[in-house]
Amino acid sequence: MENILYAPWRDEYVTGEKIDGCVFCHISTHESDDESLHVLYRDEHCFIVMNRYPYTPGHFMIIPHHHTDALEALDPNVWLHMSALAQRGVRMLKESFGAHGVNIGMNLGKAGGAGIAEHIHLHLVPRWERDTNFITAIGENRVYSTDFEKIYRRLKGLAETYFKG
């Protein structure tokens, strides 16, 4: 018996316009496209963007505008700012998005598992009790339980409260 998973949001990945160069630098420099690029927040040091292929609904990343693949070369003030944004992001995911927990992490370098190794980024992945199922554990596939755009709009509204100020 053949198993088929329907994932229409992946069509854009396969057929959509490809970004030349670093995708994060593209997002950093195209503020006028924030909605279509799913940016939740931006300031002079960083921007926060939804992960287009999330582990769970609400998975986003905090990314410095400065292009670097080396955390150790990042300005310490930018790193502290990223950490402060992470604290606010965790608060938002727990208080207003209903997450029971949050995974935070960075994969540094290709050998460290980074999908986009040339530009560091910090993942915040909301988690819920019993959010892992047999498809993830045995079938090595993920099931995204809700509409990506709906989650983006919800988090975008929350970001106004949690990240500004």
Helices (H) and strands (E) in the chain, counts: 6, 5
CA angle 154, 160, 163 (to 5 degrees): 115
CB-CB contact of 53 with 104 (8 Å): no
Bridge partners of residue 37, in order along the sequence: none
Report residue 114 as tokens: 């980074």
Retrieve residue 34's tokens.
């924030």
| Catalytic residue check, 38 | no
The active-site residue, picked from 59, 119, 121, 123, is: 121
- Residues 123, 59 contacting (CB under 8 angstroms): yes
Q: Where are the alpha helices (DSSP H) in 6-98?
A: 10-15, 23-29, 34-37, 76-95
Cα dihedral 7, 10, 14, 15, rounded to 10, equals: 90
Active site residues: 121
